[in-house]
Structure 1
Amino acid sequence: MNKPYRTFTEFYPFYLSQHQNLSCRRLHFIGSILVLLLLGAALLTANGWLLLLIPLVGYGFAWVGHFVFEHNRPATFKYPLYSLMGDWMMFAQILTGKLKC
């Protein structure tokens, strides 16, 4: 993770290389679904407190995947924006069947 990535297109193959373990990918996917559900619940109920749970749930599931199953350091620590974009790109590719989960 020492290479400086200038674009998301350069970064995404590295991101996928850090998510080869299916359990890690599944935890990311579950965390992303829960983030969307929390966002929806916060909007529907006008309860802003639910928004505070979003980073805890999103990062919590992902980091368990990395530390327990993938045995690597999340890219979030060095590339926070690209990593967030990678999470949603991977989520979309799993939903569309382009990536196995």
Structure 2
Amino acid sequence: MTYDEFWPRYLRQHRHATTRRVHVIGTTVGAALLLAAVVTLDWRLLVAALVVGYGGAWLSHALVEKNRPETFSYPFWSLANDLRMTWLYLNGRLQVELERHGIR
């Protein structure tokens, strides 16, 4: 599977707006904690970044989407797409991308 084939699959795994919001919050806060961990050299912030970044997202898949996170099968592409989805969401372009792939 190519990255271009994976992107629509990833979006389909995030059909519910609640799941997307949880991912955006987790990715944003997780990235901030990761940056803080690097700046302060505090390993606890790195652990917090992973817990915040992935914990909420995994819970939203279990409780909202009722599916298995793609992270387990495609860890690097999933991370890249978490960042991509967050960027599109924060720039107001995610809805157009969802519609382009037939996801409402």
Using structure 1 for the length normalisation, give the TM-score.
0.85
Within the candidate set 79, 85, 88, 1:84 is matched to: 79
C-alpha separation in 1, matches of 2:52 and 2:94: 22
Greater helix proportion: 2
Letter in 2 for 1:37: A
Distance in structure 2 (CA, Å) of the matches to 1:84 and 1:40: 16
Residues in 2 aligned to 1:85 and 1:92: alpha-carbon distance in whole angstroms: 11
Trace 1:21-32 onto structure 2 (pairs within 5 A).
Answer: 21-32=16-27
Q: 1:54 aligns with which of 49, 58, 61?
A: 49
Distance of 1:15 and 1:85 partners within structure 2: 11
Identity of aligned residues (%): 44
Q: In angstroms, what is the RMSD of aligned CA positions? A: 1.3
User: Aligned partner of 2:72: which letter?
Assistant: F
**Structure 2: segments with no counterpart, 5+ residues:** 96-104
Shift, 1:43, TM fit:
3.5
Letter in 2 for 1:43: V
Q: Distance in 2 between matches of 1:67 and 1:79?
A: 17
Q: Secondary structure at the match of 2:83?
A: helix
TM-superposed CA distance for 1:56, in Å, is 1.3
Alpha-carbon distance in structure 1 between the residues aligned to 2:19 and 2:5: 22
Aligned residue number for residue 17 of structure 1? 12
The runs of at least 4 aligned residues of structure 1 exceeding 6 Å deviation read none
